[in-house]
Amino acid sequence: MFADRIEAGLYLADKLKKYKNKPGVVLAVPRGGVPLGYIIARELNMPMEVILTKKIGHPTNPEYAIGAVSMTEKIIVPHAGVSEEYIEKETEKIRKKLRENYLKFMRDKKPAELAEKIVILVDDGIATGNTLISTISMLRKLNPAKIVVAVPVAPKSAVAKLSKMVDELVIPLIPEDFHGVGAFYEDFEQVSDEEVIGYLDKLNNNLMNT
């Protein structure tokens, strides 16, 4: 059990201290992953960005993911009856929303080059891991030196899936009985867009002053 996201971030940062001052980037999943990402990036002296991805839903069941899209990449699992036209239309619609969110959070800053960098992917917890799996598949296309997933809590099923896909997992809590991420925090208040922007600005100021 963690008091809040800040305590969880400090715990993870301590487990990741071997990466301090190494060429890397912290990619935080908004919004809940950003407070943890801020702490980790600050302690490791790395830049932080938000990582924006969204699933593509099946045309007859939008909740069922047939793939995922980032601003530059996409992963699609072929399904009978799903046309290329539908996929392209959904991809463009999702990318428009992702670009709006990127502009809101990162403003005019260009995304970092990830080739040959240590990428530390951070969230406040994992439920199924399916969205993160798609994100990792897309990140692999960018040829990072290493992908590390750092989250405070995840169920065994998600850990089993992720362990086959990344170079390192840092997950201190892997409970037998998992009933949602929020159950492992005393304070699990929703993180606002304004807080996300505040953490990004504060980190940028810290990095400029070091």
What is the CATH classification number for the domain harbouring 71? 3.30.1310
- Give the least confident one: 2-6, 24-28, 112-116: 112-116
State pLDDT tens for residues 26-74. 999 999 999 999 999 999 999 999 999 988 999 999 888 888 898 888 8
Q: What is the chain's alpha carbon radius of gyration, rounded to the nearest angstrom?
A: 17
Report the CATH number at residue 142.
3.40.50.2020
- Domain residues for the domain of 78 are 54-105
DSSP string, 116-158: TSEEEEE-S--SS-HHHHHHHHHHHTT--SEEEEE-SB--HHH
Do 40 and 133 have their domain in common?
yes
Q: What is the pLDDT of residue 136?
A: 92
Q: What is the pLDDT of residue 6?
A: 96
Do 138 and 187 have their domain in common?
yes
The rounded distance, in Å, linking the Cα atoms of 125 and 184 is: 9
Q: Over the chain, what is the mean pLDDT?
A: 92
Do 134 and 185 have their domain in common?
yes
H/E run at residue 48: strand 48-50
Question: Quick check: helix, strand or coil at residue 161?
Answer: helix
Q: What is the pLDDT of residue 207?
A: 65
CA 168 to chain centre: 15
Do 39 and 130 have their domain in common?
yes
- State yes or no: pLDDT of 189 exceeds 90: yes
Average pLDDT over residues 152-169: 94
Q: What is the pLDDT of residue 122?
A: 97
Do 78 and 99 have their domain in common?
yes
**Burial level of 33, CB count in 10 A (0-12/13-18/19+)?**
buried
Q: What is the pLDDT of residue 209?
A: 63
pLDDT band for 92, please (50, 70, 90 cuts).
Answer: very high
Average pLDDT over residues 140-154: 95
Q: What are phi and psi of 11, to 5 degrees?
A: -65, -45
- State yes or no: pLDDT of 187 exceeds 90: yes
pLDDT band for 208, please (50, 70, 90 cuts).
Answer: low
Helix, strand, coil percentages for the chain (3-state, nearest 5): 40, 20, 40
Q: What is the pLDDT of residue 88?
A: 94
- Residue 2 to residues 34, 115, 150, 185, 195: CA-CA distances in angstroms? 16, 34, 15, 5, 20
Do 92 and 19 have their domain in common?
no
The rounded distance, in Å, linking the Cα atoms of 78 and 48 is: 33
Do 127 and 171 have their domain in common?
yes
| % pLDDT > 90, the chain | 73
The rounded distance, in Å, linking the Cα atoms of 165 and 136 is: 7
The rounded distance, in Å, linking the Cα atoms of 179 and 176 is: 10
Do 43 and 142 have their domain in common?
yes
Give the total number of structural domains in the chain.
Answer: 2
